[in-house]
Amino acid sequence: MAETFDGDWLALREPFDAASRSVALAQRLGAALPARARLIDLGAGTGSLFRWLAPILDRPQEWTLADADAALLERAFAEISRWATSRGLPVTASASSMVVRTPKGAWRVEAEVVDLAAPLSGLGLNRRDAVVCSALLDLVSAEWMTEMAAVLKKPLLACLSVDGRDRLYPAHPVDRMVFSGFRRDQQRNKGLGVALGPKSPEALRAAFAARGWTVREAASDWRIPADAADMLDMLVASHGEVAARRLRDRREMVRAWARLRAKQVDRGRLAMRVGHRDSLALPPGLVIEGE
Ligand SMILES: C[S@@+](CC[C@H](N)C(=O)[O-])C[C@H]1O[C@@H](n2cnc3c(N)ncnc32)[C@H](O)[C@@H]1O
């Protein structure tokens, strides 16, 4: 069964996601797409990737937001509507789709409840011009990635996969232990097989390169400054909780670490980098205009 994600957590991370994703890879995807582009966003959640990528692609677009969680998809429509209206873009919505009107053409958005644990050949991925996702591919297994590489014939933009290069500033001697407990949890089965966690970017590269695809990558780290207290609080608490669960014999040490780190957040004395990578995989023979 798919793990559930809290919509408020997705909202808290959205500005960090937006500041971190690689605009250069998104523009390269744009250069590979037709004048009217159809995209499917796997594990779309509340539509954060749409709000970031649609303006960069800047042309008529048809999006399918695909997710296991119907409540997140419902929230996606509400958030897209609020976001578009605040930018002066008119929105029309029906029960199953919405249209955002922009000076460069309409963006039609539909939602589809899907379980990505089902065979990927049933998702109609190749009826679209590209498959995109954000903060999803570290949840999938190596087998899932191999299946995706076998099924897919269209470009894939996978944003914000964790790569394990996490650091707190200032460093503390217990950080390494906490991060290692946290990383173990990132590789837990979250409904899509034993999760790749920080091995996701290299697994993507290997699976697609083996089939002759061109894979480009860019660092997309969250750089969380000391004044982003809500985000830091959430990360310190979740790292502490998960690590304490994973490292039972060192639970007290982890809890003391979490208390100390929370105090540093309170005083504006802690900052963090969370290592991520964006990957763009292009099928063999795809010609990009201007290259
Ligand atoms: C970390 S969230 C990322 C959401 C969104 N892409 C973003 O960047 O804000 C992962 C998303 O994948 C979805 N998901 C997880 N497992 C799934 C599955 N088996 N099938 C479909 N969606 C799944 C979750 O519901 C959640 O919305």
Which helix (H) or strand (E) segment holds residue 66: the answer is strand 61-67
Distance (angstroms) between ligand 1 centre and the Cα of 138 equals 11
201-231: per-residue pLDDT in tens?
A: 999 999 999 999 999 999 999 999 999 999 9
For residue 256, tell me if it sits in a domain.
no
Distance (angstroms) between ligand 1 centre and the Cα of 266 equals 31
For ligand 1, atom 4, the nearest C-alpha belongs to 45
Q: What is the CATH number of the domain that holds 55?
A: 3.40.50.150
Ligand 1 near 44 CB (within 6 A): yes
Listed in sequence order, the DSSP H helices in 42-131 are: 48-57, 70-86
Type of residue numbered 245: R
Ligand 1 near 47 CB (within 6 A): no
For residue 242, tell me if it sits in a domain.
no
Distance (angstroms) between ligand 1 centre and the Cα of 136 equals 6
CB 212 within 8 A of CB 284: yes
pLDDT the model gives residue 1: 76
For residue 35, tell me if it sits in a domain.
yes
Please give the tally of structural domains in the chain: 1
For residue 74, tell me if it sits in a domain.
yes
Q: What is the CA radius of gyration of the chain?
A: 19
DSSP state of 95: S
Residue 161, beta-bridge partner list:
277
CB 194 within 8 A of CB 255: no
Which helix (H) or strand (E) segment holds residue 278: the answer is strand 276-282
65-110: per-residue pLDDT in tens?
A: 999 999 999 999 999 999 999 999 999 998 789 999 999 999 999 9
For residue 264, tell me if it sits in a domain.
no
Ligand 1 near 72 CB (within 6 A): yes
Angle between helix axes 251-266 and 229-246 (nearest 10 degrees) is 180
- Range(s) of the domain holding residue 111: 7-165+192-223+276-282
For residue 213, tell me if it sits in a domain.
yes
Angle between helix axes 142-151 and 200-209 (nearest 10 degrees) is 30
Q: Quote the mean pLDDT of the chain.
A: 96
Distance (angstroms) between ligand 1 centre and the Cα of 9 equals 12
CB 7 within 8 A of CB 13: no
Strand order in the sheet with 271-274: 167-169, 271-274, 222-224
Which residues, at least 6 apart from 267, have a Cβ–Cβ distance to it below 8 Å?
none
Ligand 1 near 43 CB (within 6 A): yes
What backbone phi and psi angles, to 5 degrees, belong to 113? -80, 120
Q: How confident is the model at residue 291 (pLDDT cuts 50, 70, 90)?
A: low
For residue 57, tell me if it sits in a domain.
yes
For residue 210, tell me if it sits in a domain.
yes
Residue 234 CA to residue 284 CA, distance in Å, equals: 42
143-174: per-residue pLDDT in tens?
A: 999 999 999 999 999 999 999 999 999 999 99
Helix-then-strand count for the chain, H and E: 9, 12
